[in-house]
Structure 1
C-alpha cells in the first residue's frame, strides 16, 4: 500500500492576487514552473558555477546516519571544501547533503542573481539558505523550527517532494521533543505493515526541476529526495497563524534547550526512549481509531 498523496497544483505563472487568494490564505502548496527564468541565477546557477564562486569555502555536511546522542541539535556530521563536495556529487552517489547553508554571507555577489518575489508577503531577507544533495540522497521527514512559509527554488536536476500539514502529525510517528518523524521510515516506499498509521495520513507529492518554485505553507512537514544531484534555495516568510507562532516560540525557548540538556545528560538512553515512544504513541492512536 502506498501513501495517500495527491499532486501539488502546478501553474506556469501566478499573480500576487491569485497566490494570496488561492494558496497563501488557504495554506495550500503550489508549484510555479520556471518561476526563476527572469533571474540571472536561472542561466548561471549550476553545480559548476557554485564550485567556481565558492569552491574554497568549508561547508557543513549531513547524512542519514543516526543522530549522535551527544551532539547538539542540528550539528553537522562533517565538513568539506565546496569544490571537493561538488566533485563528489557529480562523480558518484553520496548521502552527504548541505542543509540550511547561508552561502550569501560568504559570497555576497550571489545575492545579485535573484529577486525576492512580488507575491504579497514579507520575506526574511537576512537568511536565504541553500540545500545540496546527491543522487538518491534525502532529508528525513520534518518541519522547520520556525514553522515559516517557505519558498523553495530548485536548480539543476530533479527533486521529489512529499508534504503533510500539521494536522497529519499524529499519523507520522513524530519523535517527541523534535521536529522529525521516526527515522526508520522510508517515505519513498514506506512499510505500511510496520508503520500502519501512515495509511491514514493525507498529503501531497510533486517533482521540481531547474527553475521551479514550490510554495510550502507554514509548518508543513516535508521530505525531499534528490532524483539527480542538484541544489535549491529557500526564502522564508514568518508564520502568521497564532498557533504556529506560539509553536515556533516554544521550539526556540523550550524544545532546543531541553533537547541539548537531555542529550548531554542521558545520551543514547534519551534517543532510544524517544524513538520507542514515537512508535508506541502513534500505534496507540491507530488502535483507538480501529475501536
Structure 2
C-alpha cells in the first residue's frame, strides 16, 4: 500500500512538474554578441557588456534592479556606466536609483524625463536627455536611441545595439501577442506611424520587446499589419454609424486568430481604437456620421 502511494505521488509530480520545480523569478539570457536580455515575470529589459562598462535599460522595479545589479557584479568584471529608460511608465522605470547610486549615468528622452520629474516618480531622474536621436559610443559598441513621436506613454524610444544589431522597443511593438487590452495609454495613430518608421529605418537582425516574444523584421511587419487592419475595421464601422457593441461583436480579423489573447483582447482592442477616435479625432462631432457615441 505504501509503495502504491509513493508511486502515485511520483506520477503526480511527473504530470505536474511545476509543483516540484518553480520557475525562476528573474533570468538572464544571452541574445546576440554582447547583448543580453533580463526577464522579470512578463517584463524584459536588455543590457550590453563592453570593455568600457555595461549599458543597462529599464530597471523594471527595485527588487528586479537589485537582483540584476548583483548578478552583473558577479558575472562581469565591468562597472555599470549607463542606464536608459525606454519611456515614462512606472511599471518599467521604478528601481532606477539602484543603478544611479552605483554610478550609472541615467538617460531618457526629454518628454519621458519631464514626466518622471513632474509626476515625482520615485526613481532616479535623468542625467542627460535628448530630443529625436542620441548615439552613445561605448568602447567598441554603440547604442542608438531614437524618438519616433507619440505611441505609448511619453518619450518612448527605440534602442539599437551595435555591432550586434539588436533592436529593443517597449510596449508599442509587441510580438507574438495581442496589443494590451483596451490600449490604455496608447496612441493608435502613433503606434502605426512609429512602427512604420522602425521598418523604414536601419535594418536590424533581431527584435526584443519589453513584453512578448523576440523576432525578426517579418514579425514586426505582421504586427503592423494587425494594427492597420484593426484601425481600418473600427474606423470604417464608425463611419457607417455602427455602435461600439456592434463593432466588438462583428470585428473578427481571423487572419490573426493564432495570436495569444486573441479572443480575450480583440474586443478590448476594438474599444481602445473606438475611444481614441471619439476622444482624439472627435468622431462624435462629425456631421457626416449618423450615430450616437
Please give the range of the TM-score, normalised by the shorter of the 2 chains. Answer: under 0.3
Alignment TM-score, normalising by the size of structure 1: 0.28
More helix by share: 2
Of structures 1 and 2, the one with the larger relative CO (CA 8 A, separation 6+) is 1
